[in-house]
Amino acid sequence: MSLTLLASAIATIYVTHRLVDYWRAARSINNHPGYRTLLAQTSSIGHFFPPIPGITPGGNHLFMNKYRMYEIVGCDIHSAVSAWPTATTTLFVADAAAIKQVALARTRFQKPVHHYDVLELYGRNLITAEGDEWKKYRKICAPAFSERNNRLVWEETIKIMDSLFEDVWGSKEIIATDHVVEITLPIALFVIGAAGFGRKISWKDGDLAPPGHRLTFKEALHVVSTDVFIKLVVPDRALGLTERLRSVKVAFEELKQYMLEMIDERQRAGNLEGRHDLLSSLLNANDLDSGESKLTVSELLGNIFIFLLAGHETTAHTLCFTFALLALHPDEQEILYQHTQSVLSRVGDAPTYDNMPLFTQSLAVFYETLRMFPPATGIMKTCMEDTTLATTDALGNQIVVPVPKGADVTMDFTALHYNPRYWDEPHAFRPSRFLKEWPRDAFLPFSTGARACLGRKFFETEGIAILTKVISRYRIEVKEEPQFALETFEQRKARIFKTRLGLTLTPIKVPLVFKLRETKTVT
């Protein structure tokens, strides 16, 4: 297949999916009184997909529309029907109790694992498995996310941030970036390198690959993490057609070689008790098992890679949204700064993992970011038998919704996080809501049930350490650009928070400035 044909095929798939999304969105408001009026006004093929006021179609529609579709329907469950490529019924759920029911009834609502086969880039893993296979992976992988590993995450993150300030930013009073992911992505990669693989990466590392390698570990990790979508959509036989595609091919081969070498090195070393990175812990847990329950080398590679892929991108993007929210809300940034300073005045300017629970405002800011920008906007399950889900409508009436066997059920985390039944002023950035009692069943950035995120504490530990170090030293502002000088606050917010749907919710361009504070350390 030529690149021209490939591009054409991808464009055709994209456009087709947008039309199908639009059709499904249109059909999903069948309970809305104005729906038949809209259809009655469409008298030509050109109006086959009637516009729905306030509704955005497309692959990112769950995040873009947030709770709007449920407001139109007047119920926290709504349905969509599509006729292509097969007849499909999908229920979208923004009711906390119903979502909990779907998540906990693992036999009745199962993960459609065939949708995730593309993530088997190195081997079977937690994300792509179900049933007994998933139980085996969970049993062996869970011990890797231990308190000892979380402590390592904190320590390595602090070292990485100190090195960034001293070796890269130095005494500069202003650090400007056109897209803050250029800063958060390498930080996240360095942390996962150290706490995930036991490979410490320095900001000052050179570019010379070791003998037997074409790339350094740092280079391979960076290319794999940033270009994973190329690997997902381009057939292996086409990865040699251009220089960019060849670099992706080489990076994936190099990372596999590095991981195989690390596995071999740790296994030959025998005693791994003194090492607490994820790879060592995973190998330790695997060695404790016997017989068929052991992970194969391919399964080891598949699982450690999925931790890398999910962990670094989630952290990098969430931090990007966090810094942007603080830049747009200087009052909340000042509250966070003052609280951070009050904690540092008690523990010193080198906080330890044991001090982490004291940074309650940092965690509140982090959680509010995750509420507003959940990494996974929704997760789909397939109903394996005829059943029902209960919810209430806008008037408070109890409604029982039939769910036929074979229907897809999407747990709509974005709509749940913006549901006014659970959150006051859901569109407002208010970290203080997490400093008091809050609706835990309506906050699911890490999913819920048995398949909830294993790396939640890893993620929180890394994020709070980074946020604490940055906010104690720098003030964050939106980068001023002449072409946007006359925009309103709402226009600026809309521009900064433009997103696309990648493996996780992805910011498109967030230009920020970090300004050195007068008070750099606490004595």
How is 81-148 classified by DSSP, letter by letter?
A: EE-SSS-EEEEEE--HHHHHHHHH-TTTEE--GGGGGGG-SSS--TTT--HHHHHHHHHHHGGGS-HH
Quick check: 198 and 279 in contact, CB under 8 A?
yes
Give the 3-state secondary structure of residue 78. strand
Return the amino acid letter for 464: I
Q: Which DSSP helix (H) or strand (E) runs through 512?
A: strand 512-516
Determine the Cα–Cα distance for residues 371 and 381; give it in Å rounded to an integer.
Answer: 21
**Domain final residue, candidates 398, 417, 436:** 417
The residue range of the domain holding 264 is 135-376+450-516
**pLDDT for the residue numbered 251:** 93
Token couple for 497: 């928070």
Token couple for 56: 């955005």
- Non-local CB neighbours of 20 within 8 Å, separated by 6+ positions: 82, 84
Token couple for 515: 């300004």
Residue 388 CB burial class (10 angstroms; 0-12, 13-18, ≥19): exposed
Q: Could you report the per-residue pLDDT of 8-47, keeping only the tens digit for each?
A: 333 333 333 333 443 343 344 343 333 333 333 333 333 3
**CATH number, position 478:** 1.10.630.10
**pLDDT for the residue numbered 175:** 96
**pLDDT for the residue numbered 219:** 87
Give the 3-state secondary structure of residue 13. helix
pLDDT averaged per 10 residues in sequence order, the chain, 523 residues: 37 36 39 36 38 60 85 89 77 95 91 80 87 86 87 94 94 95 91 85 81 89 83 86 92 92 80 71 74 79 84 88 97 97 93 96 97 90 93 88 92 95 96 96 90 88 95 96 92 92 84 86 43
Residue 91 in domain: yes
* Structural Rg of the chain based on CA atoms: 24
Q: Could you report the per-residue pLDDT of 56-68, keeping only the tens digit for each?
A: 655 567 788 889 9
Q: Are residues 394 and 505 in the same domain?
A: no
Residue 422 in domain: no
**pLDDT for the residue numbered 34:** 35
**pLDDT for the residue numbered 117:** 78
- Interstrand relation of 408-412 and 88-93 (parallel, antiparallel or unpaired): parallel
What is the reported pTM?
Answer: 0.85
Q: Are residues 33 and 152 in the same domain?
A: no
Determine the Cα–Cα distance for residues 29 and 150; give it in Å rounded to an integer.
Answer: 45
Q: Are residues 239 and 322 in the same domain?
A: yes
**pLDDT for the residue numbered 116:** 77
Quick check: 305 and 259 in contact, CB under 8 A?
yes
Q: Are residues 38 and 163 in the same domain?
A: no
Give the 3-state secondary structure of residue 173. coil
**Domain final residue, candidates 417, 439, 474:** 417
Determine the Cα–Cα distance for residues 331 and 326; give it in Å rounded to an integer.
Answer: 8
Q: Are residues 293 and 392 in the same domain?
A: no
Quick check: 196 and 308 in contact, CB under 8 A?
yes
Q: Which DSSP helix (H) or strand (E) runs through 253?
A: helix 243-269
Return the amino acid letter for 461: T
Between helices 456-473 and 297-328, what is the axis angle to 10°? 40
Residue 441 in domain: no
Residue 431 in domain: no
Determine the Cα–Cα distance for residues 192 and 222; give it in Å rounded to an integer.
Answer: 11
Of the candidates 76, 145, 102, 27, the one whose C-alpha atom is nearest the C-alpha of residue 460 is 145
Q: Are residues 356 and 396 in the same domain?
A: no
Peptide bond into 85 cis (omega under 30): yes
Quick check: 116 and 127 in contact, CB under 8 A?
yes
Q: Are residues 45 and 170 in the same domain?
A: no
Q: Are residues 390 and 372 in the same domain?
A: no
Q: How many domains does the chain have?
A: 2
Quick check: 429 and 333 in contact, CB under 8 A?
no
Q: Are residues 407 and 468 in the same domain?
A: no
Determine the Cα–Cα distance for residues 522 and 57; give it in Å rounded to an integer.
Answer: 50
Q: Are residues 318 and 388 in the same domain?
A: no
* C-alpha pair distances (Å), 275 with each of 42, 150, 266: 66, 12, 10
- Non-local CB neighbours of 260 within 8 Å, separated by 6+ positions: 297, 301
Rounded (10°) CA dihedral 10, 13, 18, 21 = -140
Residue 121 in domain: no
Residue 523 in domain: no
Residue 425 in domain: no
Q: Which residues pair with 222 in a beta bridge?
A: none
320 is in an annotated binding site: no
Q: Are residues 92 and 231 in the same domain?
A: no
Residue 443 in domain: no
Q: Which ranges in 348-411 belong to alpha helices (H)?
A: 360-372
Q: Are residues 408 and 370 in the same domain?
A: no
Sign (positive or negative) of CA dihedral 310, 311, 316, 318: positive
